[in-house]
C-alpha cells in the first residue's frame, strides 16, 4: 500500500528526473513510471539481489528506456553514487531505527524494516540528491512527523502534509510529506486520505481508485 500511495503522489513533469532511494524490487518506481510515461526514473538499492530483481522488472515492464537501477547505500550518502542531482526524490524509508523496538519478520527483511542511520541518514541523502527548488516526498509513520519536519527544515520548506487514516473516525497511521528544497511557503495540512469504509467495501472509493492507478493523489 505504501508503495502505491507514494507512486500516486509523483507529479514530476515530462523530462524530469526522479530518484527513489531504497527502491527494493521496484514496486513504487515502476508504478510511478507507469503513471508518468514521459518522466525519467532511477532507483538505488543496497541489496544486490533486490537491485537485480528491480532491473529485471524494469525490462519486463518495458520501461528500460527511461528507468534504471544502481546498487548503493543511503548510509554512504548521495555523493558516493556519482550522479547529478535530481528534480525530485521520493522514498519510503524503513519505519524503525531501533533494533530493540521491533524484530523484523526475517533476517533477510531487516534492511527494509530497520534504518541503520535512522531518519537522519535518509533525509540527509534526499536533501543532497535533489536540486534547489526540487521536491522531496516521503511516506512514513505518523508518529515520526515531527522528526521528519525537523530534519528537513534547515534546508527545505513549503511543506505539504497528507495524513493517511485507516478510517474516517480513526487517527492517521501514516503521513505523506512533500517538501521543496529551499522552499519558503507556509506549511499546509491537507485533508486526510481515508483508506477504509466501515460500512462498505475493503477500501473507500477514493483509496480504491488510487491503488488501482485510476486516480492521482494531488498536492
Residue 81 CA to residue 128 CA, distance in Å, equals 11
CATH topology of domain 2-211: Rossmann fold (3.40.50)
Binning pLDDT at 50, 70 and 90, where does residue 110 land?
very low
Sequence spans of domains, the chain: 2-211
Give 56 or 105, the one with higher predicted confidence.
56
Neighbours of 48 (CB within 10 A): 9
* pLDDT top residue among 199 and 136: 136
Residue with cell 539481489: 49
193 pairs with which residues across the strands? Answer: 164
Q: What is the pLDDT of residue 98?
A: 52
pLDDT for res 95: 87
Residues 6+ apart with CB under 8 A from 47: 24, 111
Chain center to CA of 16: 17
- CB 70, CB 117: distance < 8 Å: no
Output the pLDDT for position 199: 84
pLDDT digits (tens, 9 = 90+) for 115-171: 456 999 999 999 999 999 999 999 999 999 999 999 999 999 999 999 999 999 999
Do residues 5 and 175 make contact, with C-beta atoms less than 8 angstroms apart? no
The pLDDT of residue 71 is 97
Q: Which of 18, 19, 16, 23 is nearest to 2 (CA)?
A: 23
Amino acid at each position: 500500500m505504501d508503495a502505491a500511495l507514494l507512486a500516486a503522489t509523483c507529479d514530476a513533469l515530462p523530462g524530469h528526473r526522479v530518484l527513489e532511494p531504497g527502491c527494493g524490487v521496484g514496486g513504487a518506481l515502476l508504478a510511478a513510471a507507469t503513471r508518468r510515461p514521459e518522466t525519467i526514473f532511477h532507483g538505488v538499492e543496497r541489496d544486490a539481489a533486490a537491485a537485480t530483481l528491480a532491473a529485471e522488472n524494469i525490462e519486463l515492464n518495458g520501461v528500460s528506456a527511461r528507468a534504471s537501477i544502481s546498487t548503493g547505500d543511503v548510509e554512504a550518502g548521495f555523493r558516493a553514487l556519482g550522479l547529478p542531482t535530481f528534480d525530485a526524490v521520493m522514498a519510503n524509508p524503513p519505519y524503525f531505527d531501533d533494533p530493540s523496538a521491533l524484530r523484523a519478520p526475517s533476517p533477510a527483511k531487516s534492511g527494509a524494516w530497520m534504518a541503520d542511520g535512522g531518519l537522519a541518514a535518509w533525509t540527509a541523502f534526499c536533501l543532497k540528491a535533489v536540486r534547489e527548488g526540487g521536491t522531496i516526498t516521503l511516506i512514513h509513520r505518523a508518529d515520526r512527523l515531527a522528526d521528519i519536519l525537523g530534519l528537513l527544515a534547515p534546508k527545505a520548506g513549503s511543506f505539504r502534509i497528507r495524513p493517511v487514516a485507516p478510517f474516517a473516525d480513526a487517527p492517521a497511521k501514516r503521513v505523506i510529506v512533500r517538501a521543496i528544497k529551499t522552499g519558503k511557503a507556509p506549511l499546509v495540512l491537507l485533508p486526510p486520505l481515508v483508506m477504509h469504509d466501515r460500512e462498505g467495501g475493503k477500501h473507500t472509493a477514493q483509496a480504491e481508485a488510487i491503488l488501482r492507478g485510476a486516480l492521482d493523489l494531488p498536492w
